[in-house]
Amino acid sequence: MAEEITLTIDGKEVKGERGDTILQVCQKNGIDVPTLCHFEGLSDIGSCRLCIAEIEERGRTRIDTSCTTPAVEGMVVQVSTKQLNEMRRAILELLFSEGNHYCMYCVASGDCELQDMAYRFGIDYIRWPLLYPERHIDASHKYVVMDPNRCILCRRCVRACAELVGNHTLGVGGRDSEAEIIADLKLPWGESSCVNAGACLQVCPTGAILDRRSAYKGKKDQVERVKSTCLFCSVGCGTELVSRDNYLIRVEGDWEAEPNKGILCAAGRFEPLYDEERTRVLRPLVKRDGRLEETTWDEALDLVAEKLGDSDKNALGALTSARATNETLELFAKLFRGIGVENIGCLEGPIAEPPEKEINLAELDEADMFIVVGEDLAEDHQVVGFFVKRGVNNRGARLVIVDDKETGFVPLAYRWLKPDEVEEAVRLCDAAARPAVIYGARAGEELAVLRKELAGKAGFFWMAPATNSRGALAAGLSGAFNAEAAQNVYVLACDDGKVGDELLARLKKANFVAVQSSYVEPWAEVADVVLPTVIWAEKEGTITNLEGRTLKVAKAVEPPAAVKGEAEVLKALIGRLGS
């Protein structure tokens, strides 16, 4: 336990811990200190100077930034004198005079920390001339826009990109009044090494980085926020879903959430709101004369129940997306096992058992060597990739890739080995104290070698292939599906569109296929009945992530009127089939 220290702040004796900064001691003791560049979870760099404190130490008094000054036993500190507040006001005026801060036109007005500070310090005029610098807006990025006119160079975005994502795309270019945030060596942001994690957007205190999708769609007191879990891969990142009037406008990372502590990837933060081109199913559909036509829920459910109930049990098949919640997967298993179906599986294919000795995501932050096998972290499970990038770029950990494929992480790797060179990876591990083996669905025999040779030395981290693979395992739905044998098939597709062509081609030949899906595609040619269901932001329950952690999924928006929840439909079928 850290040693306790005692300080006097604004005349009050307060306690802190050795290693705390003065700002941390203030925050622990409820003493309010204005800050702009400080952000919990990022390193402090003392750039905005708003947190200045008058510090008496060993007979000397000085003014310094409280976010970067270590608290020391016996220190006497003032953080809210008239003089300090006058200096803060002057600093704020300089920030306003230096940029082009026209609050009434700014996307962040009402949500801006700089604006809040101006109100706090009663700034209604600026003593210095407004410089009207000419700063060009960079709108080259698909998801965000950089407006340097609103930037106060707090460098939160730079630190978030480097320290949280491990990517180091953003930096500061130029000097003095020419200084500005740049991407790589001043490339247009959209052409840079940016990986669209969006952490920079979330930490920006002003309107300098704006989100194309949610800009001007709602200020903090006009929107609703719901804490949930991302359903786009098995990491299960904690999110905050931001909506207004039942319209989802933004996804943010939840800074308090395990396992990701606020970092998201493009697949969780941006893509679900931008890239959906499929047609939503709004009412039950039944196929007549080769065309899907709208029908009633009763007719659709009766037809499904009749076809499944009358079928020879050996000709029945049931498939589910492993993106469904634990609760839905249990019901699904109950329904189909109840009517004697043995041919049950997941759309994502059979799921292997997780390793016996697993490490969790947080432990990757302690690894000094990563061996990544059969997984492209630039494409899948990207947040795990950010943990690896942090290790390699920020802590000097070594990355060894064992893969036939040249993955997106190869340029970062110390060695890229082919699977038949796996013994070399084992040898390289000799120099590591805490190696971690991260493996995905493409890992083959080489994984068995690593398991054997590195047992007791390395921790193994399994990249569960689908969002809720572990939930599917727990519900007994992990086996192989025999598509050839299935003539009458029920598919719980959820909002998942990833279905293999081979499986689709086989389902086309089946006698009867009922699909519970949020979207028509890719089921239009295959399905005899489509039962509309909720999408990721409309459902609730739990999932089990790749670490085995149970995570809550919460509803942020209501589904369209005639769309029913996954469980409601399964229960209606259980009622009709008596299972």
Q: Closer to ligand FES at the Cβ: 89 or 227?
A: 89
- Residue number, 50 or 556, with CB nearest to ligand FES: 50
Task: Please say which residue, 63 or 249, places its beta carbon nearer to ligand FES.
Answer: 63
CB of 113 to ligand FES, least distance (A): 11
Question: 111 CB contacts (<8 Å, ≥6 apart)?
Answer: 219, 220
CA gap 487, 507 in Å, rounded: 8
Work out how close the CB of 35 gets to ligand FES at its nearest, in angstroms, rounded to a whole number: 4
How many Å is the Cα radius of gyration of the chain? 28
We find the least distance from the C-beta atom of residue 128 to ligand FES, in angstroms, to be: 20
Q: Which of 150, 170, 149, 173 is nearest to 160 (CA)?
A: 170
**Contact between 568 and 531 (Cβ < 8 Å):** no
Instruction: Give the nearer residue to ligand FES in terms of CB position, either 152 or 567.
Output: 152
How would DSSP label each residue in 349-375?
---PPPPSSB--HHHHTT-SEEEEES-
Map residue 293 onto helix, strand or coil. Answer: strand
Which of 412, 488, 404 has the alpha carbon at shortest distance from 446? 404
* Three-class secondary structure assignment of 187-230: ECHHHCCCCCCCHHHHHCCCCCEEECCCCCCCCCCCCEEEEEEC
Rounded alpha-carbon distances, angstroms, from residue 454 to 141, 214, 388, 459: 43, 48, 19, 9
Least separation in angstroms between residue 47's CB and ligand FES is 6
Nearest to 247 by CA among 218, 221, 276: 218
Min separation Cβ 68 and ligand FES, Å: 7
Residue 223 tokens read as: 């929107």
Q: What share of the chain is helix, strand, coil (3-state, %, to 5)?
A: 30, 25, 50
Residue partners of 504: CB distance under 8 A and separation at least 6: 522, 525, 526
Residues 388-400 as b/e (b if ≥16 CB within 10 A, e otherwise) read bbbbbbeeebbbb
**Secondary structure letter of residue 436 according to DSSP:** E
Distance CA 438, CA 383 (A): 13
- Shortest Å, Cβ 203 to ligand FES: 13
Contact 376, 350 (CB under 8 A): no
Looking at beta carbons only, is 65 or 516 nearer to ligand FES?
A: 65
For binding to ligand FES (CB under 6 A), which residues are involved? 35-38, 46-51, 65, 67
DSSP three-state, residue 512: strand
Residue closer to ligand FES (CB basis): 35 or 516: 35
Smallest separation, CB 39 to ligand FES (Å): 9
For residue 386, the minimal CB distance to ligand FES (Å) is: 25
Cβ-based nearer residue to ligand FES, 37 or 425: 37
Minimum distance, C-beta of residue 404 to ligand FES, in the bound complex (Å):
48
Q: How far is the CB of 38 from ligand FES (least distance, A)?
A: 4
By beta-carbon proximity to ligand FES, the closer residue of 116 and 276 is 116
For residue 259, is the peptide bond before it cis, meaning its omega torsion is within 30 degrees of 0? yes
Smallest separation, CB 117 to ligand FES (Å): 11
Side chain identity at residue 505, one-letter code: A
Three-class HEC string of 16-81: EECCCEHHHHHHHCCCCCCCCCCCCCCCCCCCCCCCEEEEEECCEEEEEECCCCECCCCCEEECCC
In sequence order, what DSSP letters do the residues of 83-149 get, joined into one string?
A: HHHHHHHHHHHHHHHHTT--GGG-TTTTS-HHHHHHHHTT--S-SS---------B--SSSEEE-GG
Q: How far is the CB of 297 from ligand FES (least distance, A)?
A: 57
